[in-house]
């Protein structure tokens, strides 16, 4: 909606309202100082709400109509009009000795980017073999431009397809060795201080504890009853990323606390911040959480 002062206000669900502001400014040629983005409830993101689709269209229509404009996609329109995930080819080769220790691994992945470069091949390369301690490994990734719509993020962008290839090969190794899939993963699992094939060293990670807990649970040990029943195991890795942010807390006259911060709520963010701040201040959890708009303050 455009105000009488010539400024644009956008209400929308996104994973970063400052990013939505910047991208809309770029597309429409409007200074960022003229755009206010108000973050709404996220609902769900998974990478799909880090880009703009409807925002500049609604803004342009609102400017023409001189009225507020709301656009909401149907489920079919979401599939047809937002960025598709990448078509991919994943080749995985893993070697292990008779004791079930991985000795080497080689992965080649080819991801379709669409009409412009920028498939999530980097994320795939960073994550594909990370759950495993591998002394000798190589990962190659290719970002391929093809005649189709530009690829976009879909739930841990680039990684599910890569992990499916690696975990399928791990299962084949376990079957050939006659080894329990969890036991194999415990034997080869990463821990604090393990170096990933791309180079970074892992800090504190609870992977081994998670595998051991799964191995000990009755759900894993119980017999499978009835036809068409099975039990599967897979491991995966994803990283967290963020940009610069700030927050401040205010103690109100009635003893409650107001916390203002600049990032949108992704899942349980506000609830977590509320509990953490109450713990630090040593007070009951009586506080309100406010997410800044891009022109607030």
Q: What are the residue ranges spanned by the domains of the chain?
A: 8-81, 88-200, 247-291
Beta strands 137-145 and 257-261: pairing type?
Answer: unpaired
Task: Identify the band that residue 99 occupies on the pLDDT scale cut at 50, 70 and 90.
Answer: very high
- 121's enclosing H/E stretch is helix 121-127
Tell me if 73 sits within 8 A of 48, measured CB to CB.
no
Dihedral (C-alpha) 92, 85, 48, 240: value to the nearest 10 degrees? 10
- Across the range 83-98, mean pLDDT stands at 94
Residue 49 is given by DSSP the state T
What is the pLDDT at residue 30? 93
**With 0-12 CB in 10 A as exposed, 13-18 as middle and 19+ as buried, what is 87?**
middle
Say if residue 202's pLDDT is above 60.
Answer: yes
Same-fold call for 8-81 versus 88-200:
yes
- Across the range 108-125, mean pLDDT stands at 95
What is the pLDDT at residue 293? 76
Highest mean pLDDT among 6-10, 105-109, 155-159, 272-276: 105-109
Stated pTM of the model: 0.80
CATH architecture of 88-200: 2-Layer Sandwich (3.30)
Q: 31: which residues sit within 8 A by CB, 6+ positions away?
A: 25
What is the pLDDT at residue 267? 67
Q: 50: which residues sit within 8 A by CB, 6+ positions away?
A: 14, 15, 16, 19, 153
For residues 146 and 148, what is the distance between their CA atoms, to the nearest angstrom?
Answer: 6
Q: Which CATH class is domain 8-81?
A: alpha beta
Block residue for tokens 């990684």: 159
- Across the range 253-261, mean pLDDT stands at 83
């Amino acid at each position: 909606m455009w105000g009488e002062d010539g400024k644009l206000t956008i209400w929308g669900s996104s994973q970063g309202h400052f990013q939505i502001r910047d991208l809309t400014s770029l597309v429409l040629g409007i200074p960022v100082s003229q755009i206010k983005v108000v973050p709404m409830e996220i609902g769900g993101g998974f990478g799909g709400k880090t880009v703009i689709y409807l925002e500049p269209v609604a803004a342009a229509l609102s400017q023409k109509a001189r009225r507020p404009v709301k656009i909401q996609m149907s489920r079919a329109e979401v599939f047809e009009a937002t960025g598709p995930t990448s078509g991919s080819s994943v080749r995985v080769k893993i070697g292990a000795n008779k004791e079930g220790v991985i000795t080497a691994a080689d992965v080649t992945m080819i991801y379709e980017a669409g009409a412009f470069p920028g498939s999530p091949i980097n994320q795939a390369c960073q994550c594909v073999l990370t759950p495993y301690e591998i002394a000798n490994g190589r990962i190659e990734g290719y970002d391929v431009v093809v005649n189709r719509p530009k690829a976009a993020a879909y739930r841990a962008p680039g990684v599910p397809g890569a992990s499916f290839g690696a975990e399928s090969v791990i299962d084949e190794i376990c079957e050939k060795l006659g080894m329990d899939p969890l036991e194999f993963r415990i034997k080869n699992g990463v821990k604090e201080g393990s170096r990933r094939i791309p180079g970074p060293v892992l800090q504190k990670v609870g992977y081994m504890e998670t595998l051991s807990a799964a191995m000990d649970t009755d759900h894993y040990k119980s017999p499978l009853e009835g036809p068409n029943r099975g039990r599967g195991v897979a491991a995966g890795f994803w990283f967290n990323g963020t940009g610069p942010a700030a927050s401040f807390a205010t103690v109100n006259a009635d003893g409650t606390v107001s916390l203002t911060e600049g990032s949108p709520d992704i899942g349980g963010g506000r609830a977590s911040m509320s509990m953490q701040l109450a713990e630090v201040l040593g007070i009951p959890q009586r506080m309100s959480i406010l997410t800044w708009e891009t022109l607030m303050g």
